[in-house]
Structure 1
Amino acid sequence: MSVLAVTKSVGPGRPKDMEKRAAILEAAKQLFVKQGFEGTSMDAIANKAGVSKLTVYSHYRDKETLFAEAVRSKCDTLMPEELFRPDLKGPLRKQLLAIARAFFDLITSEDAIAIHRTIIANARTAPKLADRFWQAGPLKVQEGLESFLRAEVEVGKLDVPDMHRAATQFYCLLKGECYARMEFGCGEPPTAREIDEHLNATVDFFLRAYAPR
């Protein structure tokens, strides 16, 4: 029986299957970060997870799918859907600051920086990998923020003519010089105080730009 046939006929269902699925995903996350996409084989993932290669393929049809799921899992951990559920009676600035801090923690984590470098390194040879990454990570958090902003506009707390553009601006502002220097490995990482100042200044800048007219 071919790997493809196994993939089509077997799917995760029983508790034991889900335990194996979780072990595979955890192994993949660790190996992709340490060895990059090209340097990580499905055999290595299977060995680290303590399962057979066929079991890996029964849960994830190819390495690209597994990579995308690893990215999605990381985003869900640090930026869960609950983060974007607006508390329309609560202070807007506090909610935006929570989103800002979660996003900055996500993009500056060692795992995220390693994965981003992998995407750049494989941009020419594996363009579909970049698209999988975008769909699983950046696009997901982008849409979450757009939904949050839309709710705040509807109750009059913000005046945002273009949700997509505003969400993009917010995340780009948060990256700033701090993220660029960390991604390049340039100089010392920012201190906790510097990060706090950067996040607060970014949120205040954004709120002034989109305050109700």
Structure 2
Amino acid sequence: MSEPKPIDARTLKRRESMIEAARELFCKHGLAGTTLEMITAETGGSRRTIYELFGNKDGVFEAVIRDCTGRVTSVMAGLELTDLPLRAALIHYGETLMELLTAPDTIRYMRLFLSEVPRFPKLGKVFYESGLMAGRRIITSYFERQMNEGTFPKGDARQAAIFFSSLIKADYDIRQMSYIDWEPQTKDLRSHVIASVDMFLRGYGFDPQNTA
């Protein structure tokens, strides 16, 4: 699916309102159960407007995916980590990531997107690339910078990002998607992130207490 063409501010506002309305409708009714008429009933406009802005309903769904994942990755990309010591930077990154990933809305959207993947595998790829991989590229870039500055062992930054992300994420997202109404407590998330960061650092030969 192609990226939307540049549009004026008024049309952009209409597009954003359609994405917001469609997101809630998709969560409630699923992709198959949501019609273009339901979206336009919430936002005004017409089917023609949707065709012009998104191409078709699948295009609306892709836009919803990109919007939801983009909100998470934009927060992560905006983190100021450069001036922090290594351990503090990784803890800050990990806590922010877990707060975002375990937010109730994030879990709702993940359930929606993953439920539609078998029928729309191309959209599954969009979800993976704009979500998980976008976030992984952010932390990969961080490790690359640290390697170049000599504050982290030289090696495969991408592999380090995979190890780190896996330790931080653990099974929290799956547990929340499986156990309806279960939410981790902030203090438990912080303890988990700190333990994960220290385990990661020890794996790369650091004494966590000397990297604080």
Tell me, in whole angstroms, the C-alpha distance in 1 between the residues paired with 2:115 and 2:78: 33
Q: 1:175 to 1:49 in 2, by over 3 A?
A: same
Aligned to 1:60: 54
8 Å Cα contact 1:31-1:45 kept in structure 2: yes
Q: Which residue of 10, 16, 28 corresponds with 1:16?
A: 10
8 Å Cα contact 2:18-2:43 kept in structure 1: yes
Letter in 1 for 2:130: A
Q: Which runs of 5+ in 2 are unaligned?
A: 208-212
For residues 137-148 of structure 1, the aligned pairs below 5 Å read 137-148=131-142
Tell me, in whole angstroms, the C-alpha distance in 1 between the residues paired with 2:115 and 2:38: 21
Q: CA deviation at 1:139?
A: 1.4
Tell me, in whole angstroms, the C-alpha distance in 2 between the residues paired with 1:138 and 1:147: 14
8 Å Cα contact 1:46-1:53 kept in structure 2: yes
Q: CA deviation at 1:207?
A: 2.1
Q: 1:43 to 1:95 in 2, by over 3 A?
A: farther
Q: CA deviation at 1:187?
A: 7.7
8 Å Cα contact 1:86-1:152 kept in structure 2: no
For residues 168-187 of structure 1, the aligned pairs below 5 Å read 168-185=162-179
8 Å Cα contact 2:21-2:39 kept in structure 1: yes
Q: Which residue of 81, 88, 108 corresponds with 1:94?
A: 88
Aligned to 1:112: 106
Aligned to 2:161: 167
Q: CA deviation at 1:192?
A: 1.7
Give TM-score scaled by structure 1 length.
0.81
For residues 188-207 of structure 1, the aligned pairs below 5 Å read 188-207=182-201
Letter in 2 for 1:82: G
Tell me, in whole angstroms, the C-alpha distance in 1 between the residues paired with 2:68 and 2:122: 20
Tell me, in whole angstroms, the C-alpha distance in 2 between the residues paired with 1:116 and 1:60: 21
| 1:82 partnered with 2:73 | no
| 1:44 partnered with 2:38 | yes
Q: CA deviation at 1:158?
A: 1.3
Letter in 1 for 2:159: R
Q: CA deviation at 1:24?
A: 1.3
- Give a deviation string over 1:59-110, Cα, whole Å, max 9, x none: 2123333323323322333332222x641x4222222222212221232222
8 Å Cα contact 2:136-2:162 kept in structure 1: yes
Give TM-score scaled by structure 2 length.
0.82
SS in structure 2 opposite 1:38? Answer: helix
Identity over aligned pairs, percent? 26
Tell me, in whole angstroms, the C-alpha distance in 2 between the residues paired with 1:149 and 1:23: 37
SS in structure 2 opposite 1:37? Answer: helix
8 Å Cα contact 1:142-1:168 kept in structure 2: yes
The two structures, once aligned, show a CA RMSD in angstroms of: 2.6
Q: Which runs of 5+ in 1 are unaligned?
A: 1-6
For residues 116-155 of structure 1, the aligned pairs below 5 Å read 116-155=110-149
Q: 1:149 to 1:123 in 2, by over 3 A?
A: same
